[in-house]
Each structure stands twice: as C-alpha cells, then as structure tokens.
C-alpha cells in the first residue's frame, strides 16, 4: 500500500530519509509497463479489438472517477486506473485508425520517447543535455541535406503550428530587425500570403504575433487545392495597393485536407522578384523528400528560406537568424564563462526556455531502418493510396474528390438512396448529412475512425489517410466494406 | 536482426502485409525498458554513480556514432545505443542533481508519461482524446479551486514561456479585441511591466508577439528580488508620459534565481486602479498553493487575471477569453455537426493544433499521493531548505545572498585564500572566478551538479535548488562538503 511507497507525515523525523521508496516505485512502473504493453500495444493493434470504446462524456467521467482528493490511493487501484485510461482512450496505433494525420506505431520511436521521458531533461545547454544537443544537430543537418542545403540552422518545435510561427517571426525580423526592440508600431502594415487551403495555424500565428488575420491574404487554389501562382501575384499587388508591405509567402507541401502540394518553383520565382521570405509548411507532406520517386512534388524546395518539416515538427532555416531573432541572453542559464564551447548552448535560439527533447525518437527510428527504410515507408504509403483509389473506383457508392497527389483520399460515399439523384434540389443537403451519420455509427461501434469535413463549396466528405506502416491491402478492403455497411441504409 | 523486424524491399508482394513485425517490436521495447530501468532509474538514483559522465563534445560525438545512414542496424546494436544515450546523459533524477528548477523522479508521473507516449494522441477533440479532455478539465478545475476561483478557464502549454505568451495575448485581446483582426497597427503603443528579476520569457514574448522589448518596463526589486510596488507605479506613469498604453503587469511568484515572490496584493491594487491585466508567472513558485503553511507567499493570488502554474506549465485564466482570442474555427477538425457536445472539442482554445497530452502525469501523481501528499512535498522542501541554510551558516566559507523566501539557496563560496580579503581591490574579480572553476571540477568528476550565475551587481554565485522528494539531510551535508572539497584550494 501507499505507506510503503510514501513515508507519510511531515514530521522532522522523516526529513532524514527520502520521501520516495524507489524499489516500490520501480515495481509500480514495471507493472504499469506490462499493462501498457497489453492494453495499448497488443490490444491496440488487434483488428478484433475496437479502435475506441465510446462512452458519453458523463458516463466516462463516472467510470474514470476523475476527482482529485485529499488522500492518495493504493498501488493496485492506481494500476487499475492505468488500465482504465488505456481502455477508454482511442487506439491511434490501431490498423483502422485513419482519423488524423498520424497513425500506427513505431517501436523504436516509442522506445526513444520512453527514454526521453525517463531522462527528463531540457534541450537548452550542452551541460544538461550533452547527448541531445549533438543529436539534434545531426538530425537537423541530415534533414537539411535532404532539402539540398550544405548549411543553415534549425530547431525542433512543439508542433507544426509553432514551426510556422517561428517562420513568421524570422521573416518579419529579416525584413525589419527593429521589430524585436520596438514592436510592430515601428513597421508598416505587413502582408502574408497563403493558399485558401493552407493550415489554420497561419491565421493563429497572425493573430498571436500581432500581424492580424485580415493581413493574411488568401490565394486561390485549383481543384486539387494547389496555390494558383497568378493569383498570388495578383494578391501581392492587391496588398500593396492597400498600403501593406508583403514580407512572407507561406506555401504548403501537403495540405491538411486534400494533401495538395503548392508549386514551389514558380512561388520561389515570385518571392525572388519581390524579395519575400518563402516559408514552406511541409509538416504534412515533407516526408516525400525521403523518396527518390516522389520528391518531385517538392521541386524547388531548396529555394525556401524556411520550412516546417514532416511529422517531426521542426523548423529548418537557411539563415543564421534564429539566435539573433529570439535570444534574450539569460545569464543564469547561458553563462558566458563556461569551460566548454558555449555555442553548444543552443537554447537561446528557442522561444521556449525549457524545451522537451524531440530528436531522440526520430534518431533512433532512423538508426533502426535507415534512410532506405524511411524511403520505403513513403513509397509504400503512395502504393497503398493508389490501391485504395483503384478499389474505390470499382465500387458504385464511392465518388472521389479528385485524384490524390499524396496519401489523403477524399471522397463522398453516396448511399443507394441518393445514387442518380444528383440533380434533385435537396441532393447536396442530404449528402452533407451522410458522413456525420456514418461517423457516429463507426465510433459507437468502434470498428474504425476516419475524419470528414466540408471544404469550400463541397459538402461533408471523408478524408482517408493512408500512412501507417502497419497497413495492408486487407485493411483497405475492410475500410471500403465498412463504409458501405455503415452507410448503405442511409 | 532487422529483416525480422522490417520486411525489406518495397516490391508489390510486400504491400499485402504490414511493414512492421509487432512481436519483434514489442520484444525490443521490452528489452529497452529493462535498460532504461537499469541505466536511468537504478543507476540514476545511486549516489555511488555519477550525475553525469562528462565527455568533450568531439569525443562524445564519436562515442555515440550519431551519423544517420542509408541502412538500418540490428536490434542488439540499437539496444546498445539506448544504453549509450542513457549512459552519457545527465541523470536529472540523481539525488545530487541541483542544477535546474527540476530534479528527482516520481514514478507515478513517469508512468503517466509512458502511457501518454504509448497512446500517442492529441488533445484537440473529445473524439480523439475522450479521457484526456475530461481529465484536463478536472485538473484545471482543481487547480482553480486552489487559486480560490469557482470558475474560469485554462490550458496546458508546452512550458512556462508559452503560458506567459498566452497571457500576453489574452491581456492584449481583452484591452483591444480588434488586434486579432487588424494587428498591432490598429493599437496604440503598449506597455508591459515586470520586475528586473522576472523570467527572460517576458522579453521573448514581447519580441515574438510584436510588442517589442523596449516596451517591457523593468520594475526595480528589493534585495530579495521582490518587485517594489512604488516603482511599479512610477514606471506606469513613465510609460504613459512616453505615450504608451499600459495593459499588463507580469508579476512573479518564485523568481528564477532568488525564488522571490512579488507582493501580489499591492500589485493587484495598482492593476485594479489602472485597469491592467494582472498575470502571475508562478511557473516556479506556484506549488506553495498546495501548502497551508506557505501559501501566504502568494496572498492575493485570487486577484490575478491569469497565472502560469507551477512545474506543470499551464495557464489559468479567470475569463472565458481563450477560445475567442485564439480560435481559427478549422472546419476539418472542429466539425459543427457532431453527435456529441462540441464544447468538449477544446482544441481551438490553443494556439497549437496538435497538442501533447500533459494532464495524465499530474493526474496520476495526484491520485497516488493526494493533495495531502503534494502539500507534504512542498512543506518538506521548505524544511530541507531551512536545514541547509542553518548548516551553511555554521560553515566559514559559505556566504548567503539573503535569507531564502523559497527553495532557492543563493550563496558565494569563499575559498580560504579569499577570506578576510573583502576590501582588496581584486576581490570581486577573483570571487567571480570561483564558481566557474568549482562547477567545471564537479562536472568533470560527475559528483553533483549545481548552477551559478551573476545577478545585478553580484558576481557569480551558486543557486542551490532543494525540491526533489528524494532528498535527505545527508545529501545536503554532502553538498556542503563537496563544495568545500572542490573549492578549498582556490
């Protein structure tokens, strides 16, 4: 029980011994590891188990007994809580989880994350993170070579949104270095350009960084969701005519919904002519750089000034601006009289102080499968996507929204009752209600998870994501069959 | 070997089976868990083992063989890499790690973090994070009740800096809601007030959010590092006289170096009179709220508009502004036609899109020890600090920099050769060189780690942090003896 693990009472007599019993603590962790292995990793990947165990919020709150109380609980109760949290959480490693832009499990990456958590350090100085300072540098440098740069700088960020925010700040600082000291009042009104289908973080960044969402000019896209560069030129002129000063084009490699790639070469030409910072949000599509067959989707990538890179959420930047733009020179952390090379204390490049270690998981996975293995994963995802699209075209009820450029497969499911009714006046309205109902059914039954959304003039459609390395043809067949099963009576 | 774990070759024949062998992957994870237990957790807490295994950067890079290559490695090699990463990393859970504002290990929190990593979801919607949406709400609400609020809002952030940035944005938005749309140009020049010893993230935030570092007015502090409220009033008038509009006072509960608590009651009075947002950065000191004995240090806390809370890095806010201020209403993620209560899709309150789950580790630890156990930890840290200070005062070579308000113990070690030489002209210069040399020696020998820095007019002094629940008196005695051993011949 707890009295073994924690010496109770705060009397003086206890101050002479640690509050924690490490042996008991490690025993608990070991038992909990077994639960994680069983409940999350083994059951999570089993197609006979549910992707999610749906409960209404009130019921779930009761089941979990969330309340935090005055006194602690016994070890066996806590272990049951670990089991419950696992049970009622969504299994994102399940082969039928297609709901977000992440899925599956990589055991080496997961090992790297466990080790990161156990070591519990922060990425600010060589002193406190010697291994990770060097490792982050190696990973960033390797990624720069994929982009095609011999030099540059970079940083791991807590998510793609933060990477995009860094880029916005760097671009502003390069154009107007006085902004750091004086703020935006010293600057003319600025203008950012991004496609209509870019990630919503551009708007969040503009709001957060004092630029203002109305100064984000949305550039038109073609049917596939790719930026129309003629319209980019027009929007730049429009901004200028309103007295705003363009400073940043935020292009996208792999849009969130359609997986579209903006044409980087012509965008880079425009940026060159206009003297604009070109940032590419490749938080989703950047993995194509690993593939000889598919990296053409990002042709021109070496011309970006900065990029938010795939999955791993980091910023690559071809200028040495990170430190100058973000430094605050805290003497308590970045002492200038250390006995080692203080350029290794890279924390002041970050806007964060404490910064979690994010490089280890990627490094260990890369060591495990090699660049060749990463390339194989990318190629495989494209091959699976092709397969799914072909199978979909063979079935009556599936209507693709364009041919995928990437691994996002967007489609409507047309239930039998709506087939051939495209011209009836309530068709769009009825079609818009199909995906939400199918979604509700699949979640409540727990058989799979896939997202839907409206976009532009298109009513609700599904977005299937084909990336998990654990997928096989049979999962795709299951997916199509299951959509039909859930939606055929609508 | 790897061919077992990863099916090599990308030929069509492999697309019909998963790329991963889960059994092999789980075996690797299990073996790696044993290594983590042995190398990080068992050796890490053993006072006979080193806190850090110092290597020069070049040597370490060679030892780690960091290079990422074309082909993957075998499982036994990868396991050795896990061992090497652990070996050469700093053991922040070691009883003699006093280097940062974190230390020690809590096995329930660590279990929560392992589970978080294994579940690998994002905190944006109830759909994909049902357990964690409810859990975050419970933890935030419990913390608000510690502050003394019956209602309000909050969010977990990736670090205290981000919490402070959120507060700056909320304060600006409350004062000038048009900033979200129009940017800072629509606003007058703004002014922020914070103490000279507040965290450097205030400057980073001002630079990042377009406010400008020169618009951060630094308020004088007393000897202990607490904000002088008369000077706050003067600085507010100064800002106004320069045409700037005050909008935010950023107070600190627990400064980084001295652990000082700004006087919240008088600051709140000033904020009330002037109509300013009062934010309290309690990222370090906020844990005193758990203690009946010590929460007086934050008297007036219930009057803050927002606070960055201790260790767990979150923002508490007594207005319902988070969503309005930060939302971007992405339809692909926050669909408005879902079958459950969509107010549970809390992700749009965040500036991030993907947001890691941070509530589980705190929740599980809290369940394990109860509010009473958390209070005990806080009281214990204060008691240990008192003990250390008393012991320090008995020894000739230790000169305290004021009496600690919190668990930061700041002191100079005066080596025998400098004792009684306070009036010699090179005393300060020679004293400034003592801490760096002692630090170099302790790191190279790996016996312990503690930070030093100059501050204001004071030359380099040590900052000892007494918080780990695994500390005992003997660690404190060791600390004092070791400083003497390393520094007596200087």
Q: Which of A9, A45, A66, A144 would you mutate first to test chain B, the one with the most B CBs within 10 A? A: A66
Note whether A352 contacts B212, CB cutoff 8 Å. Answer: no
Are the beta carbons of A436 and B338 separated by less than 8 Å? yes
Place B10 in a pLDDT band, splitting at 50, 70 and 90: very low
Q: Report chain B residues whose CB lies below 8 A from the CB of A471.
A: 18
CB contact under 8 A, A455 and B332: yes
By C-alpha distance, the chain B residue nearest A364 is B78
The mean pLDDT value of chain B amounts to: 92
**What phi, psi does B86 have (nearest 5°)?**
-65, -45
User: What are the strands of the beta sheet with B314-317, ordered from one edge?
Assistant: B153-156, B314-317, B306-309, B277-281, B245-252, B190-195, B216-219
The reported pLDDT for the residue numbered B469 is 83
Q: What pLDDT does B418 receive?
A: 97
Task: State the smallest CA–CA distance between residue B421 and chain A in angstroms.
Answer: 23
Is B254:B199 a contact under the CB 8 Å cutoff? no
Cross-chain residue pair A15–B380, CB shorter than 8 Å: yes
Beta bridge mates, B410: B463
Cβ <8 Å between B68 and A371: yes
Distance separating the N- and C-terminal Cα atoms of chain B: 54
Determine if residue B104 is left, alpha or beta; phi over 0 gives left, psi from -120 to 50 gives alpha, anything else beta. Answer: left
What b/e sequence results for B374-399 when a residue is b if at least 16 CB atoms lie within 10 Å of its CB, and e otherwise? Answer: bbbbbbbbbbbbbbbbeebeeeebbb
CB-based contacts of B94, cutoff 8 Å, min separation 6: B44, B45, B47, B49, B51
B422's tokens? 């306070």
Q: What are phi and psi of B177, to 5 degrees?
A: -60, -20
Judging contacts by C-beta atoms under 8 Å, the chain A residues touching residue B106 are 20, 25
Please report which confidence band the pLDDT of residue B404 belongs to, taking 50, 70 and 90 as the band edges: very high
The residue among B73, B351, B363, B435 with the most chain A CBs within 10 A of its CB, best to mutate, is B351
Q: Identify the helix (H) or strand (E) that includes residue A164.
A: helix A160-175
CA distance A68 to chain B (A): 6
Measure CB to CB from residue A29 to each of B111, B127, B383 and give the nearest one: B111
Residue B144 has pLDDT above 70, yes or no: yes
The pLDDT > 90 percentage for chain B reads 79
Distance CA B68, CA B74 (A): 14
pLDDT tens digits for B362-382?
999 999 999 999 999 999 999
CB-nearest partner of A332 from B22, B55, B453? B453
Which residue does chain B place closest to A73, by CA atoms? B368
Q: Return the pLDDT at A14.
A: 63
Largest distance between two CA atoms of chain B = 83
B213 → closest Cβ in A54, A121, A180? A180
Please tell me the predicted confidence (pLDDT) of residue B3. Answer: 38
Residue B138 to residue A364, Cβ atoms within 8 A: no
Q: How far is B285 from chain A (nearest CA, A)?
A: 16
Q: Using CA of residue A170, residue A172, residue A174, residue A178, what is the dihedral sign?
A: negative
Q: List, for residues A252-284, the tens digit of each pLDDT value.
A: 999 999 999 999 999 999 999 999 999 999 999
Which residues in chain A have Cβ-Cβ distances shorter than 8 Å to B172?
Answer: 210
How far is B81 from B210, CA to CA, in rounded Å? 43
Find the CB nearest A66 among B8, B135, B199. Answer: B135
Give the pLDDT band of residue A153 (cuts 50, 70, 90): confident
- Closest residue in B to A121 (Cα) is B92
Asked if pLDDT for residue B334 goes beyond 90, the answer is no
Q: Is the ipTM of this complex over 0.90?
A: yes
Q: A183 vs B115: CB contact, 8 Å cut-off?
A: no
Is the pLDDT at A148 greater than 70? The verdict is yes
Contact check, Cβ <8 Å, B16/A473: yes
Q: Do A372 and B72 count as a contact with CB atoms less than 8 A apart? A: yes
The partner residue sitting opposite A131, judged by closest CB among B64, B135, B179, is B64
Contacts of A405 (CB under 8 A, 6+ apart): A224, A226, A258, A259, A260, A261, A297
Q: Mean pLDDT throughout A109-117?
A: 97
**Taking CB atoms and an 8 Å limit, are A130 and B57 in contact across chains?**
yes
Q: In terms of residues, how long is chain A?
A: 490
pLDDT category of residue B333 using cuts at 50, 70 and 90: confident
Q: Residue B89 and residue A256: Cβ atoms within 8 Å? A: no
| Residue B98 φ/ψ, nearest 5 degrees | -125, 25
Taking residues B79-86, what's their average pLDDT? 98
| Residue A208 pLDDT > 60 | yes
- The confidence band for A152, taking pLDDT boundaries of 50, 70 and 90, is confident
Give, for A173, the enclosing helix (H) or strand (E): helix A160-175
Residue spans of alpha helices (H) in A283-358: 322-326
Length of chain B: 490
Question: Which residues, at least 6 apart from A227, have a Cβ–Cβ distance to it below 8 Å?
Answer: A195, A219, A220, A221, A251, A252, A262, A263, A267
DSSP state of A163: H
Instruction: For residue A64, give both structure tokens.
Output: 């979990």
Contact B37 A26 (CB under 8 A): yes
Q: Do A111 and B32 make contact, defined as CB atoms within 8 angstroms? A: yes
Q: How far is B107 from chain A (nearest CA, A)?
A: 5
Query: How confident is the model at residue B462, as a pLDDT?
Result: 98
pLDDT band with cut points at 50, 70 and 90 for residue B9: very low
Read out DSSP for A345-407?
-GGGGSS-SS----HHHHHHHHHHHHHHHHHHHHHHHHHHHHHHHHHHHTSTTEEESS--SSS
Mean model confidence pLDDT for chain A: 92
Closest by CA position to A314, among listed A483, A148, A160, A445: A160
For residue B397, the distance in angstroms to the closest alpha carbon of chain A comes to 22
Distance between A369 CA and the closest CA of chain B, angstroms: 4
The predicted structure's pLDDT at residue B396 = 95
Residues of A in contact with B383 (CB under 8 A): 10, 12, 15
> If you average pLDDT over residues A416-440, what whole number do you get?
97
Please say whether the dihedral angle defined by the alpha carbons of residues B283, B286, B287 and B288, taken in this order, is positive or negative: positive
* Interface test mutation site (partner A, options B1, B96, B122, B130, max chain A beta carbons within 10 A): B130
CB atoms A469 and B19 under 8 Å = yes
Nearest to B15 among A18, A201, A473 (CB): A473
Q: How many CB pairs under 8 A join A and B?
A: 548
| Nearest-by-Cβ selection for B367 from A10, A52, A81 | A81
What are the CA-CA distances from residue B16 to residues A96, A345, B19 (Å)?
15, 47, 9
Which residue among B6, B55, B373 places its CB closest to the CB of A6? B373
Mean pLDDT of all residues in A177-183? 96
Terminal CA-CA length for chain A: 54
Contact state of A364 with B78 under an 8 Å Cβ cutoff: yes
Nearest-Å Rg of the Cα atoms of chain B is: 25
B121, B129 Cβ separation under 8 angstroms: yes
The helix (run of H) or strand (run of E) holding residue A409 is strand A408-413
Higher-pLDDT residue of B461 and A341 is B461
pLDDT of B16 > 90? The answer is no
**Beta carbons of B210 and A207 less than 8 Å apart:** no
Q: Report whether pLDDT(A4) > 50.
A: no
Tokens, residue A481: 């069959």
Q: What is the pLDDT of residues B115-132, one digit of tens each?
A: 999 999 999 899 999 999
Give the pLDDT score at B319.
66
CA distance A197 to chain B (A): 11
Q: Is the pLDDT of residue A73 over 50?
A: yes
Looking at the partner chain, which of A371, A383, A460 has a beta carbon nearest the beta carbon of B69? A371
* Average pLDDT value for residue range A410-435: 97
Q: Is the pLDDT of residue B2 over 80?
A: no
* pLDDT tens digits for range B273-322: 999 999 999 999 999 999 999 999 999 999 988 888 765 556 777 667 88
Q: What pLDDT digit, counting tens, does each position of A276-330 carry?
A: 999 999 999 999 999 999 999 999 999 988 888 765 556 777 667 888 888 888 8
* DSSP per-residue string spanning B213-242: GGGEEEEPB-TTS-B-HHHHHHHHHHHHHT
Instruction: Give the nearest partner residue to A85 out of B17, B42, B131, using CB atoms.
Output: B131
pLDDT above 70 covers a percentage of chain B that reads 94
User: Which of A117, A439, A460 is opposite residue B113, by nearest beta carbon?
Assistant: A117
Q: Are the beta carbons of A475 and A424 closer than 8 angstroms?
A: no
> Which chain B residue has the Cα nearest residue A7?
B373
Mean pLDDT of B186-199: 97
């Amino acid at each position: 029980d707890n009295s073994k693990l924690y010496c109770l009472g705060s009397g003086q007599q206890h101050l002479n011994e640690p509050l924690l019993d490490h042996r008991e603590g490690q025993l608990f962790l070991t038992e909990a590891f077994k639960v994680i292995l069983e409940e999350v990793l083994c059951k999570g990947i089993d197609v006979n188990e549910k992707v999610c165990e749906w409960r209404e919020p009130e019921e779930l709150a009761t089941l979990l007994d969330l309340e935090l109380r005055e006194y602690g609980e016994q070890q066996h109760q806590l272990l049951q809580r670990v089991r419950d949290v696992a049970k009622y959480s969504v299994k994102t490693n399940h082969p039928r989880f297609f709901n977000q832009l992440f899925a599956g499990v990589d055991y080496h990456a997961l090992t790297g994350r466990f080790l990161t958590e156990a070591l519990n350090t922060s990425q600010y100085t060589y002193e406190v993170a010697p291994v990770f300072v060097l490792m982050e540098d190696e990973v960033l440098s390797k990624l720069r070579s994929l982009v095609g740069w011999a030099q540059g700088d970079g940083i791991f960020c807590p998510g793609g949104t933060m990477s995009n925010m860094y880029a916005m700040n760097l671009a502003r600082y390069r154009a107007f270095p006085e902004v750091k000291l004086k703020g935006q009042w010293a600057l003319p009104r600025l203008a950012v350009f991004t496609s209509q289908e870019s990630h919503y973080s551009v708007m969040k960044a503009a709001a957060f960084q004092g630029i203002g969402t109305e100064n984000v000019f949305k550039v038109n896209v073609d049917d596939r969701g790719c930026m129309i560069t003629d319209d980019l030129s027009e929007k730049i002129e429009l901004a200028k005519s309103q007295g705003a000063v363009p400073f940043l084009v935020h292009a996208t490699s792999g849009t969130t919904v359609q997986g579209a790639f903006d044409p980087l070469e012509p965008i880079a030409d425009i940026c060159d002519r206009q003297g604009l910072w070109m940032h590419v949000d490749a938080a989703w599509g950047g993995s194509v750089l690993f593939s000889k067959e598919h990296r053409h989707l990002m042709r021109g990538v070496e011309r970006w000034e900065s990029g938010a890179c795939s999955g791993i959420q980091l910023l690559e930047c071809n200028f040495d601006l990170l430190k100058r733009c973000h430094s605050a020179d805290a003497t308590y952390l970045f002492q200038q009289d250390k006995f080692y090379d203080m350029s290794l204390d890279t924390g002041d490049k970050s806007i964060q102080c404490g910064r979690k270690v994010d490089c280890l998981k990627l490094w260990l996975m890369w060591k495990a499968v090699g660049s060749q293995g990463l390339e194989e994963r990318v190629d495989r995802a494209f091959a699976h996507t092709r397969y799914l699209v072909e199978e979909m075209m063979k079935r009556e009820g599936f209507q693709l929204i364009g041919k995928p450029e990437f691994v996002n497969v967007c489609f409507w499911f047309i239930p039998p009752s709506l087939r051939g009714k495209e011209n009836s006046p309530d068709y769009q309205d009825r079609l818009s209600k199909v995906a939400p109902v199918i979604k509700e059914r699949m979640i409540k039954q727990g058989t799979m998870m896939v997202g839907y959304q409206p976009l532009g003039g298109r009513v609700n459609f599904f977005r299937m994501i084909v990336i998990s390395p654990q997928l096989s043809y049979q999962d795709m067949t299951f997916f199509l069959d299951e959509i039909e099963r859930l939606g055929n009576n609508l």
